[in-house]
Amino acid sequence: MSVTLEIEIRPTSRAVFAEVDAVVMRCAYAAQNHFGRLCEEAVYENDVKARLRAMGFKDVHTQVRLQLSYQGFEKAYRLDLVVNGVLYDLKATDSLIPEHDAQALHYVTSLGLNRVKLINFGSPRVEGKLHAAPFAENDRRQVTINRCRWQPQSEACNRLAHWFEGLVRSIGGFLRSEVYEEALVWFCGGVDCCIQRLPLSRDDIVLGRHACRLHSDDCAFLVTAFKPGQGRENYRQQLQLLVNALPIRAVQWINVHHLDVSFITVQANEADRQRNGGTGTAL
């Protein structure tokens, strides 16, 4: 994987982080005190930057472009705030949620940094949440792939597995599942070719449509990031109900949690598949 960044950012020591963070948080509190908590994120971002510059900080950057590339696939992000090499992800919402944590960790993982801090201006009092990198950089690509529940339906499924294994061994674990899934969509021909809205049927009646990521005419895939025991079996059961109502043979489900990857095949019940073969009558 190639990582392209407009500026150079390296891991910082605890002492450097503490020194920078004390000033950044003072500026964050001052920004909220002045504007309240109802402004858009960009207002706080620009105000903190202006305050830091006024205090003599020269190495202050906002909206820094980060681009990930792998064999033609590209994904671009914007880093909210970088101060003397310390990375901040800014929010303006009622409260921080796990999705915000995942995004911050995604950035620190992609860049091989040792810490990132979330700052939320939308709560009654400015929230600051520090995340340390949960891995050693030289271990991140040592993934383990479990295929005990994998049943390829065609050569297209084998190609999908080959693509994904090459991808995850190159860019490593700990990234957001959306990145892996978007890369697979690209390998499968792009959004227009890969993502199709297929009919959902019951008793030969088409009741609606569902967006599926297809790697062949009769097989779909998806990527998740469930932790062990985090409702995986229930999710598999829900996938089974879904695939039974679609005119496809199976869903190839790939779950990535840190360094553990599982390939799981959820096959349609054949009787349901025959009923849902595209012959239903729309309501």
Residue 39, burial from CB neighbour count under 10 angstroms (0-12, 13-18, 19+): middle
pLDDT tens-digit map of 192-218: 999 999 999 998 899 999 999 999 999
Where residue 280 falls among pLDDT bands split at 50, 70, 90? very low
The predicted pLDDT at position 90 comes to 98
- Assess whether pLDDT exceeds 80 at residue 168: yes
pLDDT tens-digit map of 54-97: 999 999 999 999 999 999 999 999 999 999 999 999 999 999 99
Query: Rounded to two decimals, what is the model's pTM?
Result: 0.85
- DSSP-assigned letters across all residues of 56-79: T---EEEEEEEEEEETTEEEEEEE
- Let me know the angle formed at the C-alpha of 100 by 18 and 70, rounded to the nearest 5 degrees: 95
